[in-house]
Amino acid sequence: MPAGVPAQGPGGVSDAVPSAALLAHLGMSGQLLVRTSAEAAEQHRHLRVRLTLSGGLTLDFVDQRTFGHLSVQDLAPTPDGEPGGLGSDLALLPVPALHIARDPLDPAYRPDDVARAMRRRRTEVKRALLDQSLVSGVGNIYADEALWRAGLHYARPTQRLRQSDAVRLLAAAEGVMREALVQGGTSFDALYVNVNGASGYFSRSLAVYGQEGEACARCGAVVRRDAFMNRSSFWCPVCQPRPRAPRAPRVRVEPVDRPGASTA
Ligand SMILES: [Zn+2]
């Protein structure tokens, strides 16, 4: 997920509205680590860029592989006129991030509006949840957990969701993300760490993702795994019933005219 930091002029703090921002694209393995100068003395093996921040902090861009990158990008007004995200008062975003919808932790995120937009789509609900132009920050694992919490099958057609279903699903996604944030994410190995460099423990509390063949924590049914969008979907067949196929149009049998039969 890209994160924009409005850039200041060479003289440091400036009151002028910035016209450019430093954009970090984390790729597969990039990390931004905020460290005190004491912590930063021990240099990370995969340190690519070090920025010195005010207040004795450093911001290290660390990437084991090299799919991530930093770039300076022009800023443009946000599509909804709201501030550019958590920690920013300016209604500006780096141009390459303009198409990315707000995530559930963004102060200007409006779940009722997102739910309505989701129901206007003609797709399966999990595809909508993973679509960064609708809502951002929900990956495959969080999507499965949110669908399980909301009791919705991943293939439910968005256009047949009630507004209350869509709102409940988005609230579940937000809940999963907030809990994961507290616990440090779903990192499965030491490669993925939070801004303080600690790896995630949330993977230990996953209810359904990766639980194929295990008992559902809510009802005891056996959790299933399906292939979905080149990845996996884990779901409970009882808590998340598969949607019924749309009813086939009924064939109307026209009465055949028989000789001697009266016509009404
Ligand atoms: Zn269940």
Weakest-pLDDT range from 71-75, 197-201, 212-216: 197-201
CB 17 within 8 A of CB 90: yes
What spacing in Å lies between the alpha carbon of 151 and ligand 1's midpoint? 8
Stated as kind and residue range, the H or E segment containing 38 is: helix 37-40
Which of 151, 88, 92 minimizes the C-alpha distance to 125?
Answer: 151
What spacing in Å lies between the alpha carbon of 155 and ligand 1's midpoint? 16
What spacing in Å lies between the alpha carbon of 224 and ligand 1's midpoint? 10
Question: Which letter does DSSP use for residue 158 in this model?
Answer: G
Reported as half-sphere exposure (CB side, CA atoms, 13 A), residue 40 has a value of 20
What spacing in Å lies between the alpha carbon of 110 and ligand 1's midpoint? 29
Stated as kind and residue range, the H or E segment containing 5 is: strand 3-6
What spacing in Å lies between the alpha carbon of 208 and ligand 1's midpoint? 9
Q: What is the CATH number of domain 111-235?
A: 1.10.8.50
CB neighbourhood size of 10 (10 A): 6
What spacing in Å lies between the alpha carbon of 45 and ligand 1's midpoint? 44
**pLDDT per position as a tens digit, 121-138:** 999 999 999 999 999 999
**What is the band of 111 on the pLDDT scale with cuts at 50, 70, 90?**
very high
| Residue 205 one-letter amino acid | S
The pLDDT of 42-50, averaged and rounded, is: 86
Q: What is the pTM of this model?
A: 0.78
CB 72 within 8 A of CB 23: yes
Higher pLDDT, 218 or 3: 218
Length of the chain: 264
Give CA–CA dist 115/122, Å, rounded.
Answer: 13
- Residue 104: predicted pLDDT: 94
- Residue 8: predicted pLDDT: 44
Give CA–CA dist 192/28, Å, rounded.
Answer: 10
For the domain made up of 3-97, the CATH class stated in words is: alpha beta
- Residue 199: predicted pLDDT: 47
DSSP-derived pairing of the beta strands 231-235 and 92-94: unpaired
The per-residue pLDDT of the chain, averaged, comes to: 84
Which residues are CB-contacts of 201 (< 8 A; sequence separation ≥ 6)? Answer: 183, 184
- Does 256 have pLDDT greater than 70? no
The pLDDT of 156-178, averaged and rounded, is: 96
**What is the band of 77 on the pLDDT scale with cuts at 50, 70, 90?**
very high
**pLDDT per position as a tens digit, 223-236:** 999 999 889 999 99
What spacing in Å lies between the alpha carbon of 215 and ligand 1's midpoint? 8
The pLDDT of 19-23, averaged and rounded, is: 92
Identify residues whose C-beta is under 5 A from ligand 1, the ion.
Answer: 216, 218-219, 221, 236, 238-239
- Which value, in Å, is the radius of gyration of the alpha carbons in the chain? 24
What spacing in Å lies between the alpha carbon of 183 and ligand 1's midpoint? 24
Residue with the two structure tokens 């779903």: 186
Give CA–CA dist 46/65, Å, rounded.
Answer: 8
What spacing in Å lies between the alpha carbon of 218 and ligand 1's midpoint? 5
What are the residue boundaries of the structural domains of the chain, listed by start?
Answer: 3-97, 111-235
What spacing in Å lies between the alpha carbon of 16 and ligand 1's midpoint? 55
What spacing in Å lies between the alpha carbon of 114 and ligand 1's midpoint? 27
Give CA–CA dist 102/77, Å, rounded.
Answer: 14
pLDDT more than 70, % of the chain: 80
What spacing in Å lies between the alpha carbon of 123 and ligand 1's midpoint? 24
β-partners of residue 34 are 59
Give CA–CA dist 214/223, Å, rounded.
Answer: 6
DSSP-derived pairing of the beta strands 57-63 and 92-94: unpaired
- Residue 254: predicted pLDDT: 67
What spacing in Å lies between the alpha carbon of 165 and ligand 1's midpoint? 17
What spacing in Å lies between the alpha carbon of 216 and ligand 1's midpoint? 5
Reported as half-sphere exposure (CB side, CA atoms, 13 A), residue 213 has a value of 0
